[in-house]
Amino acid sequence: MSAAAPLAIGIAGPTASGKSALALAAAQRWPVEIISVDSALVYQGMDIGTAKPTPAELAAVPHHLINLMPPTAAYSAALFVADAQRLIRQIQQRGRIALLVGGTMLYFKALADGLDTMPPADTALRAAIDARAIAEGWPALHAELARVDPVTAARLPPGDAQRIQRALEVWQLSGRPISAFHGEARSAGLAVPLLALEPVDRAWLHHRIAQRFDAMLAAGLVDEVRRLRARGDLQPTLPAMRCVGYRQAWAALDAAGDAGLQPGTAAWARLREQGIAATRQLAKRQLTWLRSMPRSVVACDAPDASAAGLAALATLIDARAGDRAGHQAGDNTAGERQP
């Protein structure tokens, strides 16, 4: 694979914008493999609330980074970058195009910009921090973080469990605050052209989000969360259980109990309202991330969004293939000039 021009394209956008549909349509036209850029799809046993591809879709097109690990584990941007770079190389060696598809913008940015060279995740230490959080509460751990890394604590709310956990983990592993690693030498990034699906009318996206959450509830999201709770090894503080939809359903079951959380009840209506609101907030954050990133934009709410998306992909793929061919030709010419 040419490091200067990997034959890989990103499809990003807020939740419910049509990313997966566009990727599957692209697979009908080009020899592609899909790399999921989604921090929730990595977890096994979480199918409904993550809108995971169906078995038929997974069989029709090769997918990667889906059902990767149990929900007790933690995945990170660093793990994603390592996995994505390896997969892009392998896919290109097979003569195919890597489509990176998803809405976890931190992963896209980490892949493009590289990562700070801070300690990798430590599963045992994270479990110990989680246990303390259950006993003491995340605000207490935030107060501890303020003592050892006031810079990071100042930018994190007391309930931001995932980032507080990582900051304490880095401190305990290295003896240095996580803020000290920012700005140091970073790992090399990988430039991947990005196609963003963004709505012109935000109300269109809000309607799609409500439809999608209603479909998840109808498909059995609450029962899926009941099964996850029944495992006995999961806590609401785990990254998997903090995913949108799962967090709200877990809290609703805590509040109403299994018998009280049923279709038609007030508790069910509150869950629906909270789940839709949380998903809209997620979409807002995703759009804010996208605006800070170089990208080509297709209006996902346009009547011809599918055709426009495929046309934009064709332009990016052709340009990328041309860049790669030119880079390889330059390498060959340079080789011919060697004595």
The pLDDT assigned to 245 comes to 97
Class of the domain covering 8-115+186-329: alpha beta
123 burial (CB, 10 Å; 0-12 / 13-18 / 19+) is exposed
Give this prediction's pTM.
Answer: 0.82
Q: Which residues of 150-173 are buried (b: 16+ CB within 10 A; e: fewer)?
A: eebbeebebeebbbbbbbbbbbee
pLDDT, tens digit, 9 for 90 and up, residues 116-160:
777 877 878 888 898 899 889 999 999 999 999 999 999 999 988
Rounded-to-10 torsion of CA 209, 212, 218, 223: -80
In this predicted structure, the answer to whether residue 339 has a pLDDT above a threshold of 70 is no
In this predicted structure, the answer to whether residue 322 has a pLDDT above a threshold of 80 is no
- Domain ranges, ordered by start, for the chain: 8-115+186-329, 123-180
Cα dist from 2 to 302, 314, 323, whole Å = 35, 20, 9
Q: Among 6-10, 215-219, 303-307, which stretch is predicted with the lowest mean pLDDT? A: 6-10
More confident residue, 41 or 188: 41
The pLDDT assigned to 159 comes to 86
The pLDDT assigned to 337 comes to 41
Residue 28: count other Cβ atoms within 10 Å of its Cβ: 10
Ordered alpha helix ranges (H), 48-188: 55-60, 77-93, 105-113, 123-136, 138-148, 150-155, 161-174
- Residues 188 and 24: their CA atoms lie apart, in Å, by 30
| Residue pointed to by tokens 């759009």 | 287
More confident residue, 180 or 213: 213
242 in Cβ contact with 130 (< 8 Å): no
295 in Cβ contact with 75 (< 8 Å): no
Strand partners, 78: none
Token couple for 307: 């055709």
In this predicted structure, the answer to whether residue 170 has a pLDDT above a threshold of 50 is yes
Q: Which fold has domain 123-180?
A: Histone, subunit A (1.10.20)
End-to-end CA distance of the chain: 25
pLDDT, tens digit, 9 for 90 and up, residues 175-204:
889 888 876 656 678 889 999 999 999 999
Find the angle CA(201)-CA(202)-CA(207) to the nearest 5 degrees.
105
Domains 8-115+186-329 and 123-180 share a fold: no
pLDDT, tens digit, 9 for 90 and up, residues 45-99:
999 999 999 999 999 999 999 999 999 988 888 889 999 999 999 999 999 999 9
The pLDDT assigned to 100 comes to 98
The pLDDT assigned to 325 comes to 58
More confident residue, 290 or 187: 290
Q: Which 8-state DSSP code applies to residue 294?
A: -
In this predicted structure, the answer to whether residue 338 has a pLDDT above a threshold of 50 is no
In this predicted structure, the answer to whether residue 311 has a pLDDT above a threshold of 50 is yes
pLDDT, tens digit, 9 for 90 and up, residues 237-284:
888 999 999 999 999 999 999 899 999 999 999 999 999 999 999 999
The pLDDT assigned to 121 comes to 78
